[in-house]
Structures are given as structure tokens and as C-alpha cells.
Amino acid sequence: MTPSPSSSKPSGQAPGDGAPPAGNAAYEDGVLTLSGDWTLPNYRHLEQQLAALGNPARTPGSLSLASLGRIDTAGASLLSEYLGPDALGRLAGEARELADETRRLIQAVADAMARYPASPTPERSRLREALARVGREMEAFGGLLWQLLGFIGLTLATLGSIALRPRRWRVTAFVAAVQDTGLNALPIVALLTFMVGAVVAFLGATILEDFGATIYTVNLVAFSFLREFGVLLAAILLAGRTASSFTAHIGAMKVNEELDALRALGLSPIELLVVPRVLAMMVSLPILTFVGMMAGLLGGALVCVVSLDISVTQFLAIVERDIALRHFLVGLSKAPIFAFLIAVIGCLEGFKVSGSAQSVGEHTTASVVQSIFTVILLDAVGALFFMEMGW
């Protein structure tokens, strides 16, 4: 509300001084004397004045407002907090020197603060805040998991509805997605797994040399890449490379309202955009996993030939003799599951884009983090399961 002038002018203001006179308060013999301007620019000073007075032993018998300048809702609310809304309203009504508009302003503020009292500020507890933060994070994680499960169900339902209808298969989109997710990623996957295989062989040879068992470097490389590293490295690379691409592509379409256009034409974005990408990933990742396994073994074999005087023939003979086929099948069986989840997470985050370039970036980052986390978590669970099953 606009500050209202009282019938009397404030004292102590120099002529021509543009600054409002600071308000003051004095309490003596049951009379609270107010002077100066009780307005928002003087709020901090007024608060200090009332704090210096301390809480009155009893409600003042009257208010002396002869020297009061201007007062607005900020000053009236400060008085209401100090005196109490009921006392302020009663004392303002008894003050005859107040202008009618000023009295009505003070009484309106007192009535409002009596009707809606300020709730006390709870004491801060770091433990409570930490638990609240953990609760919010768990609630957000539960909501995210629920959305993911729902989107997986929608994707599977759409896939089942078009499986027996060849006319609705998007072969062109599927082939293009296979080229993007599989063939284009082949060199980086092969190069990375080759170097990791060489590093694993070198570290294994360094440790096993102390025990005179460097020959078992072959077993170490073969076991690690056939069961874990081949599929894990390929999946992590696709999670960073392809899931982010899916999110950015679908998110940009949503920002440009292309998804709304598809729905307006009676077309399903899940059928057009999600299913071909999911199927392409489920084809590409097993192939990339196989290439990663072979490249990792090749890197390990190179280190064995150069550093351990183990020939390629001897390396292959040890792999054939000691490494069972089930280790290869265990590693390869994880690839379709990882591929499905990476593709679904990437597409889901694209649909969650809210309509700005910043949102596209945020959800692209989220898709990469969630995909990598999911892959590593499921790989750990799968490793424990296969170990307990004796596979």
C-alpha cells in the first residue's frame, strides 16, 4: 500500500533535505512515542530502535504519534510484531492525532497479521536437513525408476503390436540406426578394447612374474575379456556415444514441435523413433561385443609375444585348452540386455526435454550418466549371479 501521511509533520527534518527522517521510538511511563518516518527505507533502523527498547513489561497505555511522519505497511507490520496486532489496533484507534487514512492503514495491517500470524521459524538441524535431502533424492530416484519401467512397457507393447505386421516395420530407419550405432562405432570400440587388452596383459605379466607364473597372463586376458571387459567397454562406449545421440535427436524434435506434428498426423513417435533404435542397438551391441573380445585378445596376445616370448600359436592353444565356451556365451548374453536399456534410457530422456536448449543439454547428460550407471550395476549383479550358478 502507498504510505499515508499523518496530520502532523515530522520534526527534525531540515528544509530542502531530500532524505526521509529516520524513525525513532521511545518508551516511558507507559507511553510509546513514535517519531520520524516509519517506512520501508528506514526498516533496518526502526528494527534496531525497537530491539534497543526490548520487550515492554506490559502493553503501553497509549501511543504518542504527534511527531510521526509517514508510515507504510512495513512500519505498521514492525509495530504489530512488537506490540501485538490487538494492542496496535486498539492504540491506533485511540490516537486522535492520526489522520483517518493512516489509522485505517494501521488497523488493516493489524487485522491482517492477527488473521494470519507468522509461523515460528523452526530450528535448523543439519541431521534433519540431511535426512530430508536423502528422502528427496530417494523419491526422485523412485519416480525415475517408475518412469523407466512404464516406458519399457510402452516400448514392448508397441514392438509386440507391429511384430506381426510387416507393413509397419521401419526398415530404412532400422538400417540407418544400425549403421550409426554399429558400423560407425566399430573403429573406436576395436581400438579401445585392443589397448585395454594390452594394458591388462602387461599388468598381469608384471604381477605374475614375481610368482613365476607369467604363462597365466593368457588366462587372465581371455577370462576378463570374454566374460566382462568386452561387453562392458562396448556398452559404456555406446552409452556415451549413442544414448546421448538419441536424447539430443528426440529432444531437438520435441523443441521444434516435430513430435506434436507426428501425433497430429496420427503417427506414433514410439513406433517411428524408439522401436527402430532399440532394435538397432540390440543388433549392434552383440556385434561390437564380439569385436571387442577379439580386439582385447589381440592386444593381450601382442604383449605376450613381445614381452613374454609366448608365440601366437601357444597363446591360441592355451585359450582353446583352458577357456570354456560358456565364458564367451556369458559375456555375449549380456549384450542384448545392455543394448535394450541403453536405447530405452536415451529415448526416454529425449521425450522428457521440456522445450529449451538448456533442457536438451541437461537430459543428454542425464541419459549418459543413467546408462553407464545401469550398465555397470547390471554387470555387477550379473557377475554375482553367474558366479553363484557356477557358470
Domain closes at, from 91, 115, 139: 115
Residues 74 and 221 in one domain: no
* pLDDT confidence band for 306 (50 / 70 / 90): confident
Residues 104 and 205 in one domain: no
Mean pLDDT of all residues belonging to the chain: 83
Cell of 156: 514392448
CA distances from 295 to 73, 208, 215, 238, 302 (A): 76, 23, 20, 17, 10
The pLDDT of residue 345 is above 90: yes
Residues 61 and 201 in one domain: no
* Residue 264 forms part of a structural domain: yes
* Residue 135 forms part of a structural domain: no
Residues 302 and 184 in one domain: yes
pLDDT tens-digit series, residues 32-43: 777 778 788 888
**Domain tally, the chain:** 2
* pLDDT confidence band for 21 (50 / 70 / 90): low
pLDDT tens-digit series, residues 154-170: 999 988 888 888 888 88
Residues 30 and 162 in one domain: no
Strand order in the sheet with 24-28: 4-5, 62-71, 31-38, 24-28
pLDDT at 129: 86
Domain closes at, from 54, 83, 115: 115
* Residue 150 forms part of a structural domain: no
Cell of 348: 526416454
The pLDDT of residue 331 is above 50: yes
Domain closes at, from 115, 145, 174: 115
Q: Comparing C-alpha atoms, which of 74, 13, 18 is closest to residue 47?
A: 74
* pLDDT confidence band for 294 (50 / 70 / 90): very high
- The region, left, alpha or beta by phi > 0 then psi within -120 to 50, assigned to residue 359 is alpha
* pLDDT confidence band for 67 (50 / 70 / 90): confident
Residues 261 and 164 in one domain: yes
The pLDDT of residue 4 is above 80: no
Other C-beta atoms closer than 10 Å to the C-beta of 101 total 14
Rounded mean pLDDT, 218-235: 90
Rounded mean pLDDT, 346-364: 86
Q: What is the C-alpha to C-alpha distance for residues 174 and 180, in angstroms, rounded to an integer?
A: 10
Q: What is the C-alpha to C-alpha distance for residues 189 and 197, in angstroms, rounded to an integer?
A: 12
* Residue 139 forms part of a structural domain: no
* Residue 138 forms part of a structural domain: no
**264-292 as b/e: b if 16+ CB within 10 A:** eeeebbbbebbbbbbbbbbbbbbbbbbbb
* Residue 133 forms part of a structural domain: no
pTM tops 0.75: no
Residues 165 and 29 in one domain: no
The enclosing H or E element of 68 equals strand 62-71
Lowest model confidence (mean pLDDT) among 120-134, 150-164, 256-270, 297-311: 120-134
Residues 66 and 187 in one domain: no
pLDDT tens-digit series, residues 68-124: 778 888 878 887 777 777 777 777 777 767 777 777 888 888 788 777 666 666 667
Q: What is the DSSP string of 323-360?
A: --HHHHHHHHHHHHHHHHHHHHHHHHHHHT--SSHHHH
Residues 33 and 91 in one domain: yes
80: containing domain: 4-115
Residues 106 and 160 in one domain: no
The pLDDT of residue 29 is above 80: no
Rounded mean pLDDT, 227-250: 90
Rounded mean pLDDT, 206-219: 84
CA distances from 168 to 158, 177, 270, 271, 282 (A): 11, 17, 12, 9, 19
Please count the CA atoms within 13 angstroms of the CA of 299 that sit on its side-chain side: 27
Cell of 40: 520501508
Coil, helix or strand at residue 62: strand
Residues 20 and 93 in one domain: yes
pLDDT tens-digit series, residues 119-149: 666 667 788 888 989 999 999 888 888 999 9
pLDDT at 61: 61
Helix boundaries (H) for the chain: 43-53, 73-83, 85-94, 100-115, 126-162, 171-178, 186-208, 217-224, 230-238, 244-255, 258-264, 269, 275-307, 312-322, 325-351, 357-389
* Residue 176 forms part of a structural domain: yes
Percentage of the chain exceeding pLDDT 70 = 89
Q: Taking the alpha carbons of 178, 226, 241, 380 in that order, is the dihedral positive or negative?
A: positive
Q: What is the C-alpha to C-alpha distance for residues 108 and 187, in angstroms, rounded to an integer?
A: 76
The pLDDT of residue 367 is above 80: yes
The pLDDT of residue 316 is above 80: yes
Q: Check if the beta carbon of residue 91 is closer than 8 Å to that of residue 83.
A: yes
The pLDDT of residue 58 is above 60: no
Lowest model confidence (mean pLDDT) among 20-24, 95-99, 247-251, 317-321: 20-24
CATH of the domain at 88: 3.30.750
